Structure 1
Amino acid sequence: MIELRDVQKSFGALHVLQGVTLTVETGSSMVIIGGSGTGKSVILKCILGLLRPEAGSIRLDGTDMTRGDRDAFLARFGMLFQGGALFDSLPVWQNVAFRLLRGALKRPKAEAREIAIEKLRRVGLQPGVADKFPAELSGGMQKRVGLARAIAADPEIIFFDEPTTGLDPIMSGVINELIREIVTEMGATAITITHDMTSVRAIADDVAMLHDGQIKWSGPVADMDASGDPYLDQFIHGRAHGPIEAVR
């Protein structure tokens, strides 16, 4: 579904992506791991076209992502943002139905609300939450609202940016379980970026380790612990010593 070949992206003298090559199979759940500042979010932004690489290619379903109707291209995606990124001034249902109330996916208001309430139910929230504002919800509930928004338009591809950041272990487990269930039910292709190894093991089919602007290892999550790759081994076990230098 998604193919990156030798993708390079710099910001001035800072070379963030230095030849990233990665393939994400249709209907699979890929998790990209790596330290802070290694370029995980930059990969997502390049795929979405928010950033333009200086070199390399990115293909979606075999088609160059820089060609064709951009609105139609973006309509295939859903995204759960790291901090939730909910609009404080909008009630929950309008947050969930944001894409359904405008643009190419616009639906009648009553229909959009109905879809929003259905998606809220899917993530375990009662219809009464629909008319509340984000500030009235706990962090875990806000994250579920963000997940409901990500799936509101039934996208083919879903991005999850640090989906469990700021959540306690129990709520993190709930969110991981929801993500796995929803991706499987929808048959969606998913890319998640995270530091949380519990999330990796819960939601990944495949894992890619990003370091120094390159994919150091990629493969099935079942092969991760016995990979023999020193970068991956140090990261997943949280060791201070190894090829990845800790910033002090």
Structure 2
Amino acid sequence: MITLTNIHKSFGGTPVLRGVTLTLPKGKSTVVIGTSGSGKSVLMKSILGLVTPDSGTIMQDSRPLDRAAFLNDFGMLFQGAALFDSLPIWQNVAFRLLRQMPKSQARTIALEKLARVGLEADVADRLPAMLSGGMQKRAGLARAIATDPKILFFDEPTTGLDPIMARAINDLIRDLVAETGATTLTITHDMTTLHTIADHIALLDAGTLRWQGTPADLPGSNDTKLNAFLFSGS
């Protein structure tokens, strides 16, 4: 669905992405792993248009990426959930919907999405500060799926969560991706996330795509950096 070809990006003369070529298969979950500074976040920001590559192309369905159309059919779970502190949870979830439909209809959809991620209706009128980290992450996930997007991005979805909640979020993401058939991109350090949700895996190393394959390919890999990363979980 989305193809990046020979993407280069430098900041202040320091290369961050060095000719990355990667395809996000339609309806599949792609997980990009790599150590801090490997270029994962810049890769995601390049697709979103938050960073402009120095060279290379980004295509969607074999055509140049139309970011306006892309962003209208896109949802994202941010690292730390990134909820609006001053808005009740239901308005956070319905933030985009409120520009498209009556308030009552947007609230109804928000409550449906909150229920889908395991949050009760009484959460809807609370402020984010009144929720635990895990509940905030679920609310952020509800916001990501509020418009039933065809494309989903997850930025370190389990950061800051205890192992039990992290496992619950991973399972929820896996189920939502299976239900919606969305094309997804996840960047993570969490090997549990990798093994739970990935259909396709890419390892970034110093701005280059060092290895890619499926979860079934991991045990037979002879790549020393991939094996070191998997072993350390870093």
TM range (shorter): over 0.9
- CA apart distance, 1:72: 2.2
Deviation digits for residues 14-70 of structure 1, max 9, x if unmatched?
1100000111110000000000121101111110111110111111122211xx4x4
Q: Within 5 A, what are the aligned runs for 1:3-152?
A: 3-65=3-65, 68=66, 70-102=67-99, 106-152=100-146
2:159 to 153, 157, 165: 165
Runs of 4+ displaced beyond 4 Å: none
Aligned ranges 1:160-199 → 2 under 5 Å: 160-199=154-193
- Per-residue deviation, 1:98: 0.7
TM-score normalised to structure 2 length? 0.97
Q: Distance in 2 between matches of 1:238 and 1:200?
A: 14
CA–CA distance in 2 between the matches of 1:84 and 1:3?
27
What's the RMSD between the two structures over aligned residues? 1.2
Q: Distance in 2 between matches of 1:211 and 1:19?
A: 12
Aligned twin of 1:223: 217
- Alignment partner of 1:192: what SS? strand
Secondary structure of the 1:32 match is strand
Deviation at 1:220, TM superposition (A): 0.6
Whether the 8 Å CA contact 1:140–1:171 is kept in 2: the answer is: yes
Could you tell me whether the CA contact under 8 Å between 2:37 and 2:206 is conserved in 1?
Answer: no
Partner SS, residue 74 of structure 1:
helix
- Provide TM-score, normalisation by structure 1: 0.92
Cα deviation, residue 85, structure 1:
0.4
| 1:239 CA drift (Å) | 8.6
User: Could you tell me how far 1:225 is from its partner in structure 2?
Assistant: 2.4
Q: Structure 2: which 5+ runs fail to align?
A: none
Q: Does 1:210 align with 2:204?
A: yes
Deviation at 1:223, TM superposition (A): 0.7
* Unmatched segments (≥5 aa) in structure 1: 241-248
Residue 71 of structure 1, CA deviation: 2.9
Q: What is the match of residue 246 of structure 1?
A: none
Distance 2:225 2:96 in 1: 39
1:87 corresponds to which letter in structure 2? F
